[in-house]
Structure 1
Amino acid sequence: MECKIGCAACCIAPSISSSIPGMTKGKPAGVRCIQLTDDNKCRLFGKKDRPKVCSNLKASSEMCGNSASEAFKYLEELEQATVPD
């Protein structure tokens, strides 16, 4: 499955604990990644500076749904389900 260009749910909804250029302590859930362009494309896509967690994430019909709003809902629920106690 291909990513929906401009969706960016996976770059906003989940937390990322690893360092991102410009966000050395990672990013909290619900915060827009500093590496997103105004049209929601990743400035680091295909580059060695891209966090491994981002490079390893693969689009799937379950995660992405049929729209960006479905992707946000799924990823927000997954984030809540995996928050440490």
Structure 2
Amino acid sequence: MQCRPGCGACCVAPSINQPFHGMPRGKPAGVTCVHLTAARLCGLMGDPRRPAVCGAFQAEYATCGDTREEALEQLQQLEILSLPD
């Protein structure tokens, strides 16, 4: 599956616990990454400052669903499930 143009859910829903360029404290879940463009594309695509976790993310139906709204919902659920007990 290819990323859905104009989605950007993976740049909003999950947390990034490591500091990275532009977000020295990382990114909390539900907060839009400062590098998400108005067209909902990653502004750090191809840039070595892009977090490794972002580069490793692969669009899949299980996480992205059929719409941006489904992707946000499914990624939020994964975030909740990944929290320590």
The answer to whether residue 42 in structure 2 is matched with residue 42 in structure 1 is yes
How much is the aligned-residue C-alpha RMSD, in angstroms?
0.9
Give the partner amino acid of 1:2: Q
Determine helix, strand or coil for the equivalent of 1:55: helix
Q: Find the counterpart in structure 1 of residue 60 from structure 2.
A: 60
How far did 1:20 drift? 2.2
Give the partner amino acid of 1:49: R
For residues 34-84 of structure 1, give each alpha carbon's deviation from its aligned partner in whole angstroms, at most 9, with x where no partner exists: 011112111101111110000001111111100001101100111111112
Determine helix, strand or coil for the equivalent of 1:54: helix
* Structure 1 gap segments, 5+ residues each: none
The answer to whether residue 10 in structure 2 is matched with residue 5 in structure 1 is no
**Inter-partner Cα distance in structure 2 for 1:80 and 1:47:** 29
Q: Find the counterpart in structure 1 of residue 24 from structure 2.
A: 24
* Structure 2 gap segments, 5+ residues each: none
Determine helix, strand or coil for the equivalent of 2:75: helix
TM-score by length of 2: 0.94
Give the partner amino acid of 2:9: A
TM-score by length of 1: 0.94
Misfit runs of 4+, over 3 Å: none
